[in-house]
Structure 1
Amino acid sequence: MDRRRPPLAPALPRTARAGPARPGGAALGRPAPARSRPRGAVRGSLRARGSEGASVSLVRQYLRDTLWVAVGYFVLMAVALAAAILYWPDFRDNLPSIVKLLPFDALRELVAGIERFGYWAYFAIQQDFKGCSLFGLAAVALFGSGVVAREADQKTAEFLLSRPVSRTRILLVRFATAAVLVLAPVFLTSLGGMWLSPVVGERLAPGPVLAAAAYLGLFLLMQLAFCVWLSAGSEHQLRAGVILIGIMLFQFALYLVKGVGDWTLYALVDPSRLGPIQAGRFPWREAAGFAAATIGFLLLAIRRFARRDF
């Protein structure tokens, strides 16, 4: 018996073993090669992610340095407004005698606005004219003064500028963060005062309350942009805030002078502008002026920061 093995079949070519070709050139049994993204798209995606991450890091760093100051600012505004609201019944009953004690005509005109518009004018003076002008001004000075000058004062500008973002974006991110810290307490305390008013037998509609808060918010944003512009060229982190407070105190001193007060910034936020808001007459022209000044100071700040050599 022949025990020899039968001859093996001839080996097939490699291409034949791979099977029929797939559309696009890939043979059966082999995965199609993954399509690679263009290098430019990959670099653009990585650059965008790095820019977003750097912006978030900027916000976190700024909040870490200012968050507790913002909390204190909110608490002071809330306590001051609550005390003023609870004092309203006594103030209303003693209004004639209070008018006689006021030494300046400008203050008498403020009280005259209360006699004309009632509780709404009292609330607007306490929250918007006094609260925002006092606590809001201090917050603007603290938050805006160090937007750029803090890095120059602490010799850390090279670390700030080493982030993968432009100088314009750095300034705008910090300005936006400071704006939120300044404006959020204004709106929150205004709504809180509206909800507290029924305790003293008064009621306020949310529309005028929010409109007045928005109007004073634009006023504060203008001051913040001015402070940031000063900060972009300052070496000391408190210099811009001190200059802003000095200018606004001088404005308030002039506001108390008869015949001069109508030409000051505080005349734009007194009861003559705030009172009609309750009736739906919003001071659009003044608000547009605040917005235009804010944009102008921001553009000047961006230009100064871009040209600055630390």
Structure 2
Amino acid sequence: MMGVTGALVRQHLREHRLSLLLWASASARAAFAVASTAEAVADPRLLREWLGQLPEEMQRLLGRVPDYENAVDCFVSFKWLYLMPLIGALFGSTGALGVIARDVERRTADFVLSLPVTRARLLASRFAALAIGMGSVYLAAYLGLVATLWAQGMHGSFGRYAAFYAGSWCVALAFAAAALRLGLGGRGYGAAMRWGVLLAVGAFLLDVVNRVAAGPREVGWVVLYGLVDAQEVVGRGAFPWGAVLAGLAATGLLVGWSSRVFGRMRVAA
């Protein structure tokens, strides 16, 4: 059974290798672009002066230099890291529809029904492949960031960056699982994709507005993005356990729900 599950995971990764490669390449390239400009703000006085000119509301969002161990951490956080949960959520929300879209096509119905696994396991296997793909996108972005900073002789808090990426991955998984459940709602995959993307972007914007307005932190926790905070993780070195636990719990519940729904769906013959 595990051999069949592994084969399904590998098959799904092969079928989506092009989009996966494009997302990973774009993420690594964007991380390189950000890290390559970090040397210009290596002097914390320059960065502090620039941040000091921003409105107080923006400073709440971006943080302050004293909140971090060095200016590089501060620059990388507000220039790149705080966007990573959203980037992963967008990748997951669009990729989740590929988990199920092919099974409503006539040419794949016989294949699905003949597999020596339940349809629930089939769905879980494909989502596992999506999770691996999302992890590879985050890994590419992390390696691009670290390698570029290291090549310039700039020593950021690389371990804390990795912790932030881990929390972002778990949050993004939850949004991918939500998009998957929306895709099984019977309104069509195009509508499901739109709602999945709107959910990911809307929740992110709500968290941004809440931070800028100095609203209650619970709002950020509810929409999950507030659980992976660059100022907490990179600045203070706190591992984002809330993001990891809440993200994985939400993912498990939503994927389990989707598996039960998918198992009861009729496949066109």
Q: Distance in 2 between matches of 1:96 and 1:121?
A: 10
Q: Give 2:82's aligned amino acid.
A: F
Pairing of 1:287-306 with structure 2 (within 5 A): 287-306=244-263
Matched-pair contact (CA < 8 Å) for 1:227–1:244: yes
Q: Distance in 1 between matches of 2:34 and 2:134?
A: 21
Pairing of 1:128-167 with structure 2 (within 5 A): 128-134=81-87, 136-152=88-104, 154-156=105-107, 158-159=109-110, 160-167=112-119
What's the counterpart of residue 112 of structure 1? 63
Question: What displacement does 1:191 show?
Answer: 2.9
Matched-pair contact (CA < 8 Å) for 2:73–2:235: no
Question: What displacement does 1:237 show?
Answer: 3.1
2:221 matches 1:270: no
What's the counterpart of residue 75 of structure 2? 122
2:234 matches 1:282: no
> Which deviates more from structure 2 when the two are superposed, residues 177-186 or residues 161-170?
161-170
- Larger CA Rg, structure 1 vs 2: 1
Matched-pair contact (CA < 8 Å) for 1:233–1:304: no
Pairing of 1:85-234 with structure 2 (within 5 A): 85-91=35-41, 94-96=46-48, 98-99=50-51, 102=54, 105=57, 107-117=58-68, 118=70, 119-134=72-87, 136-152=88-104, 154-156=105-107, 158-159=109-110, 160-204=112-156, 206-234=158-186
Q: Give 2:83's aligned amino acid.
A: K
Q: Distance in 1 between matches of 2:214 and 2:26?
A: 33
Question: What displacement does 1:183 show?
Answer: 0.8
Task: State the TM-score, normalized to the length of structure 2.
Answer: 0.81
Q: Distance in 2 between matches of 1:156 and 1:121?
A: 52
RMSD: 2.8
What's the counterpart of residue 75 of structure 1? 25
Q: Distance in 2 between matches of 1:150 and 1:299?
A: 20
What's the counterpart of residue 188 of structure 2? 236
Q: Distance in 1 between matches of 2:129 and 2:135?
A: 10
Q: Distance in 1 between matches of 2:257 and 2:235?
A: 34
Alpha-carbon spacing, 1:146–1:236, altered in 2? closer, same or farther (3 Å): farther
Structure 1 residues not aligned, in runs of 5+:
1-47
Task: State the TM-score, normalized to the length of structure 1.
Answer: 0.71
Q: Give 2:34's aligned amino acid.
A: A
Matched-pair contact (CA < 8 Å) for 1:254–1:260: no
Matched-pair contact (CA < 8 Å) for 1:121–1:274: no
Q: Looking at both structures, which has the greater relative contact order when contacts are Cα pairs under 8 Å and sequence separation is at least 6?
A: 2
Q: Distance in 2 between matches of 1:261 and 1:101?
A: 25
Structure number with higher helix proportion: 2
Question: What displacement does 1:284 show?
Answer: 1.9
Q: Distance in 1 between matches of 2:108 and 2:263?
A: 13
Deviation by residue 1:247-282 (Cα, 9 ceiling, x = unmatched): 1222233233314473133322232332356x3x21
